[in-house]
């Protein structure tokens, strides 16, 4: 990922480099302010990668920092969005991948020199001014501003270099043939202009739903398709975090203590927003540019809008945005300009600033000092965090007591009844099937398939709380009876009939195409008509998606001739090719080196992903899922109140 970012450096906004650096440190560094949860876990292991144990504390710190970076960039991030994006899984997976690659580097004897580390640091745009390294003092300031210890940042850079070396060695033998290059070039540069119609199965309208008798007849003719998989039934006792939170009362002293011990969580960094007008010397004499600058300065002084003047006169990449360099990107400006920004107050503008290649005028549109949000602002957030922590602790304590008694009595149901606890009957579940409200991820049903009948599980944490199950009954795979799958059979028979109708509709259109144009016929039969001016091989086609048969026909079908029916997952399509753009081997020669490099990188990436999968198996990667889920839930609870 870091390699890809550097490769595309010219397309990245300078402000994003701060996020990229934070990403590097997220993988490799541990920084302060973790709170008591992190400190309590330093001896626990969340994953094992061959010879290395990854500590729960390390994962906890990395996850928290990743989420802090995201919160700084996207203010409305919350626990639901974090789960949807699979951020906890991504963070742990990235740590595991780094571990695999670093261990492989050690096996191969690969290291990074001090010279390589220094060169790499100086290459980052955020540490450059006018193409030169800003110097150690400014470098240190930038890291301090982002709360990044130098030693840990440089250790991260060192590991990044080592990993890139490993990747280069592993992919060094990858090559491409002349025929591969030609096929790739054609795929990227040849295109077909075509029109097509689509008969979507779901949009076909039938006279009515199949009757029960028709469904049974269809079932009798297709019995082999209807087999019920193994299913398991269990009793569950589950403690929901949200329910337990309602029982918890917090004292002001507890809230104040958490605030004092975790003050860094509530610190807003200093914010300075800058607008700029830049006039390069280019072909004009210095005196003419300075005169133009003084004229603009007079207009600013007479209350002309700075942004409008920037749009009219400025000659840098931010001119169209009214000269707005935002809250972060101005940190890539020259040292002279940054010194002037430090001096200016909010709403104040500079005089003319003479630079090597032009002049600039700056205005500070916002300047707010770093501040720690007061307790009154964050009290509700702290309450959510503490209540969630206490609720989970309480749930773990109750489930632990329940487990002891249930194992002694060999009955979860009997134990729960004596304690006045509710029992949930799961009904028969397939492996991995979610249970509404308590386990949307399917962890509990997956656990059932690791138990023998009447076994009682260990406590099972989910994002919603924690529970225990006792496996009551196993139903082995078997042929289904019609009554058990009647609804499914009716749905399938309906789909079959709609599919038949879709095919019939396109056959009628094909027969009538010599008398009417395709668009009119589509309108007549109430189906979709589409056009594509530059369709390429392996390209996503609207509604249809990727389709190899269409790709083949697009470059082989005679112009103006309609295809036969083309089946795709959602229905049928029919195409007509109107024109083609084709390339020759002479065309390839003009772009050969760039094409070769692009294809080689793609082939290397594909090989590398495959090799990493093998290494993962070879290194016997193991994840302690219960601990992973518990820590992730603890961290996510801090985002429950985010809006």
Question: Could you read off the pLDDT of 95-109 as tens digits, one per residue?
Answer: 999 999 999 999 999
The pLDDT of residue 12 is above 70: no
Inter-CA distances, 369 with 28, 255, 310, 381, Å: 29, 26, 26, 23
pLDDT recorded at residue 591: 84
505 has pLDDT over 90: yes
Decide if pLDDT at 29 tops 50: no
Q: Which two tokens stand for residue 190?
A: 């040849």
| Residue 492 and residue 552 in one domain | yes
State whether 168 and 28 are in the same domain. Answer: yes
Boundaries of domain holding 518: 191-225+484-581
Model pLDDT, residue 91: 93
Q: How far apart are CA 562 and CA 559, in angstroms?
A: 8
Residue-wise pLDDT tens digits, 104-147:
999 999 999 999 999 998 888 888 877 788 888 888 888 877 66
Closest by CA position to 322, among listed 307, 341, 336: 307
Q: Is residue 179 part of a domain?
A: no
pLDDT (0 to 100) of residue 638: 72
Looking at the 3D structure of the chain, how many domains does it have?
A: 4
- pLDDT higher than 70, residue 401: yes
Write the pLDDT tens digit of every residue in 247-296.
899 999 999 999 998 887 787 777 889 999 999 987 778 888 889 999 99
Based on the fold, state whether residues 382 and 453 are members of the same structural domain. yes
Can you tell me the mean pLDDT for 3-21? 35
Cα 618 to Cα 625: distance, rounded to the nearest angstrom: 20
Mark whether 10 and 102 lie in a shared domain: yes
In a domain, 164, yes or no: yes
Residues 281 and 414 in one domain: no
Which residues have CB under 8 Å from 273's CB, separation 6+?
Answer: 324, 325, 326, 327, 364, 365, 366, 367
Would you say residue 223 has pLDDT above 80?
A: yes
CATH of the domain at 417: 3.10.50
DSSP secondary structure code for residue 428 in this structure: S
- Is residue 259 a part of any domain in this protein? no
Give the pairing of strands 191-200 and 528-535.
Answer: antiparallel
Final residue belonging to a domain, choices 312, 342, 369:
369
Q: How confident is the model at residue 510 (pLDDT cuts 50, 70, 90)?
A: very high
16 or 65, which is more confident?
A: 65
* Average pLDDT score over residue span 318-325: 90
- Of 584 and 270, the structure prediction assigns the larger pLDDT to 584
Tokens of 149: 């210890």
| Tokens matching residue 389 | 């922590």
**Structure tokens, 567:** 């089946």
**Lowest-pLDDT range of 154-158, 353-357, 498-502, 630-634:** 630-634
Q: What is the pLDDT of residue 641?
A: 53
**pLDDT of 23 above 50:** no
Query: What does the pLDDT read at residue 8?
Result: 36
pLDDT at position 61 is 85
Q: Please tell me the least confidently modeled range out of 175-179, 266-270, 408-412, 603-607.
A: 266-270
Whether residues 23 and 129 share a domain: the answer is: yes
Q: No. of H helices and E strands in the chain?
A: 25, 20
| Least confident span in 39-53, 442-456, 499-513, 594-608 | 39-53
User: Is 590 part of a structural domain of the chain?
Assistant: no
Q: Are residues 300 and 411 in the same domain?
A: no
Evaluate if residue 26 carries a pLDDT over 50: no
Instruction: Identify whether the C-beta of residue 437 lies closer than 8 Å to the C-beta of residue 422.
Output: no
In order, the DSSP letters of 409-424 are HT-HHHHHHHTT---E
Q: Are 572 and 506 in contact (CB under 8 A)?
A: yes
The 3 state secondary structure assigned to 538-607 is CCCECCCECCHHHHHHHCCCCCCCECCCEEECCEEEEEEEEEEECCCHHHHHHCHHHHHHHHHHHHHHHH
Longest Cα–Cα distance of the chain, Å, equals 95
Residue 359 shares a structural domain with residue 382: no
Give the lowest-confidence range in 60-74, 83-97, 287-301: 60-74
Q: What are the tens digits of pLDDT across the range 306-315?
A: 999 999 999 8
For residues 477 and 430, the answer to whether their CB atoms sit within 8 Å is no
Task: Verify that 441 and 496 share a domain, yes or no.
Answer: no
Mean pLDDT across 327-356: 87
Q: What is the pLDDT of residues 433-451, one digit of tens each?
A: 999 888 888 889 999 999 9
Higher-confidence residue of 248 and 633: namely: 248
What CATH number corresponds to the domain at position 332? 3.10.50.40
Question: Quick check: is 501 in a domain?
Answer: yes
CATH number at residue 94: 1.10.4030
The whole-number pLDDT of residue 34 equals: 30
Clarify whether residues 245 and 394 are in a common domain: yes
The pLDDT, as a whole number, for residue 640 is: 63
When pLDDT is cut at 50, 70 and 90, the band that residue 203 belongs to is very high
Could you tell me the CA-to-CA distances from 240 to 88, 247, 336, 437, 608 in Å, in that order?
A: 21, 12, 58, 9, 43
Same domain, residue pair 363 and 392: no
Quick check: is 101 in a domain?
Answer: yes
Average pLDDT over residues 373-387: 89
CA atoms within 13 A on the CB side of 82: 30
In the chain, pLDDT over 90 holds for what percent of residues?
51
- Whether 560 has a pLDDT exceeding 50, the answer reads yes
Of 310, 345, 369, the residue that ends a domain is 369
Across 378-390, average pLDDT:
88
**According to the model, what pLDDT value does residue 521 have?**
95
Residue where a domain terminates, one of 369, 390, 411: 369
User: Tell me, what's the pLDDT at 540?
Assistant: 85
| 250 and 275, same domain (yes or no) | no
8 Å CB contact between 313 and 292: yes
The three-class DSSP label of residue 471 is strand
- Residue at 593 is within a domain: no
pLDDT, one tens digit per residue, over 449-483 is 999 999 999 999 888 889 999 999 999 999 999 99
User: Is 592 within a domain?
Assistant: no
Q: With bands split at pLDDT 50, 70 and 90, how would you rate the model's confidence at 41?
A: very low
Residue 82: its pLDDT value, please? 84
Q: Residue 330 to residues 243, 363, 370, 509, 601: CA-CA distances in angstroms?
A: 48, 11, 18, 60, 34
Lowest mean pLDDT among 499-513, 520-534, 551-565, 626-640: 626-640
Average pLDDT, whole number, for the chain? 86
Whole-angstrom distance, CA of residue 168 vs CA of residue 165: 5
pLDDT the model gives residue 27: 35
């Amino acid at each position: 990922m870091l390699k890809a970012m550097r490769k595309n450096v010219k397309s990245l906004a300078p402000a994003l480099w701060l996020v990229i650096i934070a990403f590097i440190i997220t993988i490799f560094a541990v920084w302060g302010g973790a709170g008591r949860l992190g400190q309590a876990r330093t001896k626990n292991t969340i994953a094992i990668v061959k010879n290395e144990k990854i500590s729960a504390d390390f994962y906890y710190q990395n996850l928290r920092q990743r989420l802090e970076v995201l919160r700084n960039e996207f203010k409305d991030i919350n626990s639901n969005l974090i789960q949807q994006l699979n951020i906890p899984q991504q963070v742990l997976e990235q740590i595991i991948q780094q571990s695999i690659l670093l261990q492989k580097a050690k096996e191969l004897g690969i290291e990074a020199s001090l010279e390589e580390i220094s060169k790499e640091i100086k290459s980052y745009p955020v540490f450059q001014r006018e193409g030169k390294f800003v110097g150690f003092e400014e470098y240190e300031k930038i890291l301090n501003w982002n709360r990044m210890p130098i030693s840990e940042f440089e250790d991260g850079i060192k590991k990044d270099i080592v990993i890139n070396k490993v990747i280069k060695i592993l992919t060094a033998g990858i090559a491409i043939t002349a025929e591969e290059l030609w096929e790739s070039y054609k795929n990227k540069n040849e295109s077909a202009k075509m029109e097509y119609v689509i008969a979507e199965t779901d949009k076909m309208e039938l006279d009515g739903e199949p009757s029960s008798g028709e469904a049974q007849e269809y079932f009798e003719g297709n019995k082999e398709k209807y087999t019920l998989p193994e299913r398991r039934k269990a009793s569950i006792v589950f403690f929901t975090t949200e329910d337990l939170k309602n029982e918890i009362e917090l004292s002001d002293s507890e809230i104040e203590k958490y605030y004092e011990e975790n003050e860094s969580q509530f610190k807003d960094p200093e914010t300075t927003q800058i607008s700029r007008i830049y006039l390069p010397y280019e072909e004009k004499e210095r005196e003419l540019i300075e005169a133009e600058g003084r004229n603009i300065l007079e207009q600013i002084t007479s209350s002309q809008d700075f942004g409008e003047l920037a749009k009219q006169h400025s000659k840098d990449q931010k001119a169209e945005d009214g000269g707005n360099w935002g809250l972060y990107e101005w940190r890539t400006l020259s040292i002279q300009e940054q010194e002037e920004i430090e001096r200016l107050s909010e709403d104040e503008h500079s005089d003319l600033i003479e630079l090597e290649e032009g002049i600039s005028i700056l205005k500070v549109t916002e300047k707010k000092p770093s501040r720690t949000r007061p307790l009154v602002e964050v009290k509700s957030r702290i309450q959510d965090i503490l209540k969630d922590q206490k609720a989970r602790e309480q749930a773990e304590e109750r489930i632990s007591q329940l487990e002891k008694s249930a194992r002694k009595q060999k009955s979860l149901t009997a134990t729960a009844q004596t304690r006045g606890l509710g029992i949930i009957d799961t009904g028969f579940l397939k492996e991995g099937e979610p249970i509404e409200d308590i386990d949307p991820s399917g962890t509990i049903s997956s656990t059932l398939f690791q138990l023998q009948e009447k076994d009682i599980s260990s406590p099972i944490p989910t994002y919603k709380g924690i529970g225990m199950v006792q496996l009551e009954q196993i139903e082995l795979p078997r042929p289904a009876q019609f009554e058990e799958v009647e609804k499914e059979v009716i749905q399938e028979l309906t789909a079959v009939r709609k599919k038949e109708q879709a095919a019939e509709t396109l056959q009628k259109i094909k027969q009538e195409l010599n008398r009417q144009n395709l668009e009119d016929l589509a309108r007549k039969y109430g189906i979709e008509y589409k056009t594509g001016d530059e369709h390429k091989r392996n390209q996503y086609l609207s509604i249809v998606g990727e389709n190899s048969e269409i790709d083949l026909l697009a470059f082989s079908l005679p112009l103006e001739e309609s295809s036969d029916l083309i089946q795709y997952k959602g229905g049928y399509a029919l195409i007509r090719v109107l024109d083609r753009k084709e390339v020759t081997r002479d065309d390839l020669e003009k772009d050969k080196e760039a094409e070769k490099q692009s294809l080689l990188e793609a082939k290397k990436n594909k090989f590398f992903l495959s090799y990493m999968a093998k290494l993962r198996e070879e290194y016997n990667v193991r994840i302690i899922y219960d601990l992973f889920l518990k820590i992730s839930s603890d961290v996510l609870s801090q985002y429950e109140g985010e809006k």
